[in-house]
Amino acid sequence: MSDIVEINNLVKSYEKGHIKALNGIDLSIKEGEFVSIIGPSGSGKSTLLNMLGALDLPDSGSIKVAGYDLTSSKKLNEFRSQKIGFVFQLHNLIPNLSVVENIEIPMFTSNLSNKEMRLKALSLLGDVGLKDKAFQLPSKLSGGERQRVAIARALANDPSIILADEPTGSLDSKTSAKILDLLINLHNNHNVTLIIVTHDTHIAKLADRIVKVLDGKLVDGV
């Protein structure tokens, strides 16, 4: 299978170069692979994930994801809206929109009609077991339920890659296990490439491969 992620000597710094968040990363990920990224707090995991999702531009090096060159600012909106599904630790749901409307947001840039968007959003809610909550506001849902909505939203554009940054970080262990099952099932059934940042070694071990980050570099061994 071909590589969906190709990263060479990627460097990203903050504070005018004083903080080297990524210090020469080389990484390839195959289409359909499940990779976990581990490492201590501040080691550069979120920065790496943000680069993969084109939320920020690198200083130097090359990064190509799903055929897009992420070092140039061209077509990045198209890339983000068509190729990537994000799941964050804090689910980022919009509080004054219903659950089903939250899931429809990423579809606004698609060619779907309002009716098609609604049907697709409801179907995704069914996939995460929350069809009965479609017309509730996020504030009426538990933490685990909100995270399931966030996962449904991440899938709204049929992304090639799901990027999850500590997706279970704020949940209890039982709910975490459910969220992980869900992500892994989606990965298995839809052949989505799944990249999860986690500090939990149990979660990390579920992946096909573990990548460890230390001081902005990848290190061997776990």
Ligand X SMILES: Nc1ncnc2c1ncn2[C@@H]1O[C@H](COP(=O)(O)OP(=O)(O)O)[C@@H](O)[C@H]1O
Residue 167 engages ligand X in binding (rule: CB under 6 A): no
160 forms part of the interface with Mg ion (CB under 5 A):
no
Under the criterion CB under 6 A, does residue 168 sit at the interface with ligand X?
A: no
Residue whose Cβ sits closest to Mg ion: 46
- Which one of ligand X, Mg ion, none interacts with residue 220, CB within 5 to 8 A by kind? none
- The helix/strand/coil state of 25 is strand
Nearest-approach distance from CB 162 to ligand X, in angstroms: 17
Q: Where are the alpha helices (DSSP H) in 105-172?
A: 114-127, 143-154
Choosing among Mg ion, ligand X, none, which partner's interface includes residue 41 (Cβ < 5 to 8 Å by kind)? ligand X
Beta bridge partners of residue 211, listed in sequence order: 37
User: Helix, strand, coil shares of the chain as percentages rounded to 5?
Assistant: 35, 25, 35
The listed partner (ligand X, Mg ion, none) that binds 19, CB under 5 to 8 Å by sort, is ligand X
120 phi and psi, to 5 degrees? Answer: -65, -40
Q: Which H helix or E strand runs over 8?
A: strand 3-14
Scan residues 16-55 and list those touching Mg ion (CB under 5 A).
Answer: 45-46
Q: The dihedral of CA 123, 127, 171, 85: what is its sign?
A: negative
Contact partner, 44, from Mg ion, ligand X, none, Cβ < 5-8 Å per class = ligand X
Which CB sits closer to ligand X, 104 or 166? 166
Q: Which one of 13-21, 83-91, 133-141, 183-191 is the stretch in contact with ligand X (CB under 6 A)?
A: 13-21
- Residues 14-53 interacting with ligand X (rule: CB under 6 A): 14-15, 19, 21, 39, 41-47
Q: Tell me whether residue 94 or residue 214 sits nearer to ligand X (CB atom).
A: 214
DSSP assignment string, 195-214: EEE-S-HHHHTTSSEEEEEE
Binding flag, residue 94, ligand X (CB under 6 A): no
Could you tell me how many residues make up the chain?
222
Edge-to-edge strands, sheet with 3-14: 19-30, 3-14, 60-65, 68-69
> Would you count residue 58 as binding ligand X (CB under 6 A)?
no
Question: Applying CB under 6 A, does 133 fall inside the site for ligand X?
Answer: no
* Residues binding ligand X (CB under 6 A): 14-15, 19, 21, 39, 41-47
